[in-house]
């Protein structure tokens, strides 16, 4: 039997700032309880990217992805689209060896891509 807790989800985000890091215009972009509201304002701080800029993939618990590994996942996504190797917040791919319905102990099972989409 497969234990889904053997894998965790890795994520990389790439963005191009519109202003220097110390710009007053960027002062309000912090992670807090209101993270979703802040993300909704991301277009004020970041340029819109034409290519894939976010990638998700499953890694064995305890593995720390390298920057090169994250870059490879984004490049794979750009070339092939969402696959189990690299996917987006709008796609659902279960961890290696898991069935179609992802069940994590203590959580509600995720059954469809609609349930995985980012609300921001």
Q: What is the enclosing helix (H) or strand (E) of 70? A: helix 67-80
Of the candidate ranges 83-87, 90-94, 101-105, the one whose mean pLDDT is the lowest: 101-105
Report pLDDT digits (tens) over 8-52.
Answer: 999 998 777 777 877 777 665 754 556 667 667 767 776 676 677
Count of beta carbons in the 10 Å neighbourhood of residue 95: 20
| pLDDT of residue 72 exceeding 60 | yes
- pLDDT confidence band for 59 (50 / 70 / 90): very high
Q: Tokens at residue 112, please?
A: 């469809």
Q: Is the pLDDT of residue 1 over 50?
A: no
Tell if the pTM clears 0.85, that is, is over it.
no
Long-range contacts of 117-120 (CB under 8 A, 24+ apart): 117/89, 117/90, 118/89, 118/90, 119/36, 120/35, 120/36, 120/39, 120/40, 120/42
């Amino acid at each position: 039997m497969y234990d889904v807790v053997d894998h965790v989800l890795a994520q990389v985000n790439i963005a191009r700032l519109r202003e220097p890091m110390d710009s007053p215009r960027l002062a309000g972009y912090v992670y807090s309880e209101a993270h979703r509201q802040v993300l909704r304002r991301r277009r004020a701080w970041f340029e819109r990217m034409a290519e894939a800029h976010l990638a998700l993939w499953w890694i064995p618990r305890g593995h720390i992805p390298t920057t090169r590994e994250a870059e490879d996942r984004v490049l794979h996504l750009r070339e092939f689209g969402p696959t189990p190797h690299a996917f987006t917040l709008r796609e659902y791919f279960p961890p290696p060896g898991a069935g179609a319905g992802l069940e994590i102990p203590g959580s509600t099972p995720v059954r469809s891509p609609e349930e995985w989409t980012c609300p921001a």
